[in-house]
């Protein structure tokens, strides 16, 4: 089983030719309301890629909460979610330009209330056969405790340290896999780079480099995986697609290199579509893509 402890948001996605300048009002081209949040996104990505998945988190008692939970359920994700009374569901305001680039502002809302109740749920259920996925959108102390619990149970921990803050450094020694992008690596290491992450206790580093592919650094193996050549229109959620698909592949017993290839294909498909969770490919799409497409 793949357990995902993390955030769930309603994504308000605005599409425009370019990003507005400071103080400028810009007329956009399109709008989408999607389920988002790195935790929920990765849960759906893992499920659609073939993994059995449970999402653990909190929503508010508002319209957005009902919307996002319905989306998770419709995608086949099992839920352990508490509705926080008197609180709004997490919100992400996402602006996407004509190049598929994005700028995002997040309001945590109910995600900020995840606490020991969720940790107790994990402690009761995690086994050595399971995977725990974590991201940086809930309290770092909760993430560290969850990662420690998973390691005590001999479960595999996949940690996506985004959005970066200094407190997330404490989670790194308890993660089997850490999956930052280039900017996040520099922030976590104060500019020192990937080798510093190994010194900080990272066991396996999967550096996501967008169109430049993936750089894997482990204690006993290193490799680069080139990107697939696709026409990107929206990169929102591409990293979450990668993580979810990677977890799904790993849960099936694929090797690290096979799992990275599978995850890279899933992410490549996702950037050719609008939105986050709505863009995540199904298992059969990923398999078909890998049969037809070559890397750069």
- Identify the domain containing residue 156 by its residue range: 2-8+37-86+111-292
Question: pLDDT-based confidence at 176, cuts 50/70/90?
Answer: very high
Phi/psi for 199 (5° steps) reads -65, -30
Is 282's pLDDT higher than 90? yes
How far apart CA 76 and CA 54 sit, in angstroms, is: 9
Residue 93 lies in a domain: no
How far apart CA 19 and CA 16 sit, in angstroms, is: 7
Reported pTM: 0.91
Task: Give the residue from 284, 186, 279 showing the smallest Cα distance to 235.
Answer: 279
How many structural domains are present in the chain?
A: 1
Residue 122 lies in a domain: yes
Residue 27 lies in a domain: no
Residue 17 lies in a domain: no
Residue 115 lies in a domain: yes
Task: Give the residue from 212, 206, 158 showing the smallest Cα distance to 184.
Answer: 206
The catalytic residue positions are 240
Q: Which residue has the higher pLDDT, 34 or 120?
A: 120
Phi/psi for 131 (5° steps) reads -120, 135
Residue 64 lies in a domain: yes
Residue 253 lies in a domain: yes
Task: Give the residue from 230, 260, 232, 231 showing the smallest Cα distance to 245.
Answer: 260
Residue 94 lies in a domain: no
- CATH number of the domain that residue 70 is part of: 3.40.1190.20
Question: pLDDT-based confidence at 294, cuts 50/70/90?
Answer: low
| Angle ∠(30,32,38) on CA atoms, nearest 5 | 135
Q: What is the pLDDT of residues 215-264, one digit of tens each?
A: 999 988 999 999 898 888 888 789 999 999 999 999 999 999 999 999 99
């Amino acid at each position: 089983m793949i357990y995902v402890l993390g955030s769930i948001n309603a994504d308000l996605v605005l599409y425009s030719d370019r990003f507005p300048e400071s103080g400028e009002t810009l007329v956009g081209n399109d709008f989408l309301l999607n389920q988002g949040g790195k935790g929920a996104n990765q849960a759906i990505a893992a499920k659609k890629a073939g993994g059995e998945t449970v999402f653990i988190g909190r929503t508010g008692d508002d319209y957005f909460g009902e919307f996002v939970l319905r989306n998770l359920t419709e995608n086949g994700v099992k839920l352990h979610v508490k509705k926080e009374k008197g609180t709004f569901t997490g919100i992400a305001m996402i602006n996407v330009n004509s190049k598929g680039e994005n700028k995002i502002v997040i309001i945590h809302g109910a995600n900020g209330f995840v606490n020991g109740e969720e940790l107790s749920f994990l402690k009761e259920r995690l086994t050595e056969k399971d995977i725990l996925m974590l991201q940086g959108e809930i309290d770092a102390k909760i993430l560290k405790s969850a990662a420690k619990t998973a390691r005590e149970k001999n479960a595999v921990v996949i940690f996506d340290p985004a959005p970066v803050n200094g407190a997330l450094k404490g989670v790194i020694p308890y993660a089997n896999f850490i999956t930052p992008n280039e900017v996040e690596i520099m922030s976590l290491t104060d500019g020192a780079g990937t080798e510093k992450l190994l010194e900080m206790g990272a066991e396996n580093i999967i550096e996501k480099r967008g169109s430049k592919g993936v750089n894997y650094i482990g204690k006993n193996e290193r490799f680069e995986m080139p990107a697939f050549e696709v026409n990107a229109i929206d990169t929102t959620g591409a990293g979450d697609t990668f993580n979810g698909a990677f977890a799904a592949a790993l849960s099936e017993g694929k090797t690290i290199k096979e799992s990275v290839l599978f995850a890279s294909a899933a992410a490549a498909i996702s950037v050719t579509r609008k939105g986050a969770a709505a863009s995540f490919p199904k298992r059969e799409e990923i398999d078909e893509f890998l049969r037809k497409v070559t890397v750069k």
